[in-house]
Amino acid sequence: MICAGIDAGSRTIKIVLMTAETQEVIAKGLADQGVKQDKLTSGLFQKLLKNSALDKKDIGRIVATGYGRNAVSIADTTITEITCHAVGVRHLVPDAMTVIDIGGEDSKLMRLDKAGKVRDFAMNDRCAAGTGRFLEVVARRLGVSISSLGQMAAKSRSPAPISSMCVVFAETEIIGLLASGVAREDIIAGVQSAIAARVTSLAGRNIDLPVVFTGGVALVSGMDTALQSALGQTVTVSPDPQMTGALGAAILSAEQITHY
C-alpha cells in the first residue's frame, strides 16, 4: 500500500509518496505555491503518480500539513506542521532533541522528548524578521539571488548590525547602509545574524542537544553558521530540509494505515 504526505507551505508545495509497510520513499517533488493552491497540489500529485507508474487508487491514505493544509481537497486528513516536522526530522536524525524550522512566512522551535514527541514549541508567525521572507526582501533590494546570499555573506569581514526587527524598517535601514557605502556582503551577513537572533530568542535559556535545522531557509548557506553563533551550540542541517514536513506527514499517513 502506498501513502502520501503533502506539505502545503506558504512558498512551496511538497509531496512525498512512500510505502506504508516499510516507509520507503518512492517519490517526492515540489512546486511553487500560488493562488490556486488546491489545483497546484493536485497537479503535482498527479505528476508524481504518473512518473511512478501509479494511479490514485493505489494510494491508501493522504495526510496534508502546512500553511495551506485545509485547502488540499485530496487529503484524507490534516495534521499540524509542528507534529509533522518533528516526525520527519526524527526519522532522518533519530537523536534530534530540538528542531528549528524556518520557512517562508514563519519560524518555529520545537523541543522533543526522548520518544520524539513534541514536548513544547514556540512560533514566530507575526513578524517576517525571522523567516525566509526577510531574505527575499534583502535579495531583491540588493539585486542578487537568494541562492547567492550564503556565498556573499561568507566574504564578509564586518557584518553590519541590523537593529530593526521589523522587515519594513529593516529594509529602510538596509537602504541607509547601502547609501553609507557598506558592502553588500556585510549587509547580508548582518541580516543572517539578525534572523538567527530572532529565531534563537524562541529557545529561552536552555536548549536540548542535538539541534537540527530544517525548512527552506536551511538551504541558504551560512544560515546554519549564523544559528550556531547565536545559540552557542552545534546546529545540524537536516537531510533534504525542505521536505521534512511532507516526509513526516507521509510517515504519519503510513502509521494510520498500518495501525488501524
Residue pair 137/175 in contact (Cβ under 8 Å)? The answer is: no
Residue pair 245/81 in contact (Cβ under 8 Å)? The answer is: yes
Look up the CATH number of domain 2-85+243-259. Answer: 3.30.420.40
* pTM (whole model) above 0.95: no
* Region for residue 118 given its phi and psi (left: phi exceeds 0; alpha: psi -120 to 50; beta: otherwise): beta
Mean pLDDT (whole number) for 225-240: 94
pLDDT at 198 over 90: no
Mean pLDDT (whole number) for 141-146: 89
Q: Which residues contact 217 (CB under 8 A, 6 or more apart)?
A: 102, 103, 107, 131, 132, 135, 195, 223
**CATH architecture entry for 95-238:** 2-Layer Sandwich (3.30)
Which pLDDT tens digit goes with each residue over 149-174?
A: 989 999 999 999 887 666 667 788 88
Backbone angles phi, psi at 74, to 5 degrees: -80, -5
Cα–Cα–Cα angle for 78, 32, 153, rounded to 5 degrees: 110
What pLDDT score does 125 carry?
58
Domain ranges of the chain: 2-85+243-259, 95-238
Which pLDDT tens digit goes with each residue over 40-78?
A: 999 999 999 999 999 999 999 999 999 899 999 999 999
